[in-house]
Structure 1
């Protein structure tokens, strides 16, 4: 039972990473515009994040050190400092979007203006980060997020032509109504969303919070191999629902209410209630992850005390950074900024910064001084190097494609 409950860290990380507010809408947009032809991008993303998180979790379990401590040591203060600035700003963008997404989800459930929910959402995140134990945070949010499996059940209830869905996923073609630039822009967005660095910051730091040691390497692997593929399944289910409901009518998804429409059509009010609970839980979980990650990155880089297992008086800098992040995010959202667009931009910029986070973890995972007999094997290294190339290509191509397509418009 303890081993199964330990998977909650992977479930929370996966749901918060694959299914934050931007991903919920982006997967639905992709389904409504491209059908299942971008399935390969999600599959590449889940393989990549499994490799990345598995290495990061193993490094933390063996060395007892979290991601940004290692990045500073491996890259040196100057290069690591540039990485810190990029990672923190991207994380702040994502945190802003998650608070806004939580406000949108609460609007969907209550019909109250989203901006009225923004301070409530930010305050709720702060209270949980401040008062709740890490184990409660991961177990409750992760398990409630599992109600998003209603997306998968809804696809089954919609009774699709499975052969056609599988064929378009397995033999993808760019739709005649879409250009190649838009197609690959969304491919990078899906790939970047799956491999967002904050997922790994949270996952490795969470391993320290839970006091993992060398004996927990298998637990880390179990978290990764269950949590992240589950997140990918949910992402593909959202895309499939939009493919079935919106693509035949050539309607492009642009709101959260459209995202849940296939669920409501398939399962009625009961299914809609489940999906609303799941969306609130998933976006709230992503808000917690990004809030904690903002504190983790800064505190680890500067060598401050950090962690939810420490009281605020024992780790003041860690908690101040998180509070400031929430205040900045909420302040931005009180303007007319669109939280979904903020997340879409943050996903693309995440792809740009990803190589500087991925490479140090890969180097340490091959360093016997840190890892002993837990270094990467040849097969794992082969896959890791292939994904390093893919990450660099996505990083280089992201901005030109964003400019060329007007951010996918």
Structure 2
């Protein structure tokens, strides 16, 4: 039973990090606009996240070093600083999107303007990071996030044409009214939603929090191989539900509440309650992951004491970094910038920044000094290199596509 509960880290990472506000929004938008023709982007992104997540977890377990400490030791202070700055800026933007997304969920529930909820959400997120035990966070939000499986149930209740969904997924097409730039912009957004760099930092640092060693490698791999694909499955289910309900009605998703419409049509108020519970759990969990990942990365780079379960008097700078991250992200959303726009931009920039985080992980995972006999296998390196080259191409075209498509509008 204890081993089952320990899988909560992988479940939380998939539900709260994989299916976060970015994935909820982009899956809904792409399903409504492109049908299932972008399913391949979620599948490829899931494979990449699973591959590099396993690598980062293995580095944490074998080298017994968190990600940014290993990066600094292996690549040097200056290169690691570039990685750190890029990572923190992107994670702050992602955290702002999570806070704004949760505020939008509460707007749907209460009818109050989302800006009313933003400072309260920021305060709640900080209190959870500061006061709640790590095990409580991962298990509670992991279990509540499983409410998103209601989208899978909805597909069986709705008049779903499974054959049409399958043909659409296996024969991608570009709608004439959108064109290739818009299609590939949203393909990149799905990649970014699946491959958010903070997931790698959180997953590996969480392993160090739980004191992973080589004895935990099997457990770590189960976390990665079960958790991340589960997130991918839920993303595809959300996309498919949008295809069944939103696309025929020509509803263009511009609010998070519209993503839940397929569940409402299938299951009524009960379905809506489950969907909103899953949304809130996933987005809040992702926000705590982002917050912790920022504190982890800064503390690991500078060699400070860090750890979720360390009280502030033992790791004051770690907790201050987490607090600062929440304050900056909250202030950014309070400028009244559209949270959906922030979300879409953050996931596209996240895809562009993937090489900065993932390349160092690949380097360390192939270093015998750190990994001994647990270095990457040849087939792992082959897939990882092909994947990384593809992401480098994406990093080049991402910014031009943001301007060419006006951030997908």
Instruction: Give the TM-score taking structure 2 as reference length.
Output: 0.98
Alignment of 1:1-400 (within 5 A): 1-400=1-400
Backbone CA RMSD of aligned residues: 1.1
Does structure 1 conserve the Cα–Cα contact (< 8 Å) formed by 2:33 and 2:247?
yes
Does structure 1 conserve the Cα–Cα contact (< 8 Å) formed by 2:119 and 2:330?
yes
Q: Distance in 1 between matches of 2:297 and 2:11?
A: 21
Q: Distance in 2 between matches of 1:151 and 1:403?
A: 33
Does structure 1 conserve the Cα–Cα contact (< 8 Å) formed by 2:341 and 2:407?
no
Q: Distance in 2 between matches of 1:259 and 1:155?
A: 14
Alpha-carbon offset, residue 51 of structure 1: 0.4
Does structure 1 conserve the Cα–Cα contact (< 8 Å) formed by 2:71 and 2:364?
no
Give CA-to-partner distance per residue, 1:77-104, whole Å, 9 cap, x none.
1121111111101100111111111111
Q: Distance in 2 between matches of 1:256 and 1:314?
A: 40
Alpha-carbon offset, residue 18 of structure 1: 2.2
Does structure 2 conserve the Cα–Cα contact (< 8 Å) formed by 1:50 and 1:228?
yes
Alpha-carbon offset, residue 285 of structure 1: 0.2
Does structure 2 conserve the Cα–Cα contact (< 8 Å) formed by 1:97 and 1:342?
yes
Residue segments in structure 1 that go unaligned for 5+ positions in a row: none
* Runs (4+) off by over 4 Å: none
Q: Distance in 2 between matches of 1:318 and 1:44?
A: 34
Does structure 1 conserve the Cα–Cα contact (< 8 Å) formed by 2:49 and 2:194?
yes
Alpha-carbon offset, residue 22 of structure 1: 2.5
Alpha-carbon offset, residue 395 of structure 1: 1.2
Q: Distance in 2 between matches of 1:80 and 1:349?
A: 19
Instruction: Give the TM-score taking structure 1 as reference length.
Output: 0.98
Give CA-to-partner distance per residue, 1:210-266, whole Å, 9 cap, x none.
111111111110001111111111111111111111212222111111110100001
Give CA-to-partner distance per residue, 1:324-369, whole Å, 9 cap, x none.
1111121222221112211211111112221121111111111111
Does structure 2 conserve the Cα–Cα contact (< 8 Å) formed by 1:55 and 1:361?
yes
Q: Distance in 1 between matches of 2:184 and 2:34?
A: 11
Does structure 2 conserve the Cα–Cα contact (< 8 Å) formed by 1:12 and 1:285?
yes
**The residue matched to 1:247 in structure 2 has which SS?**
coil
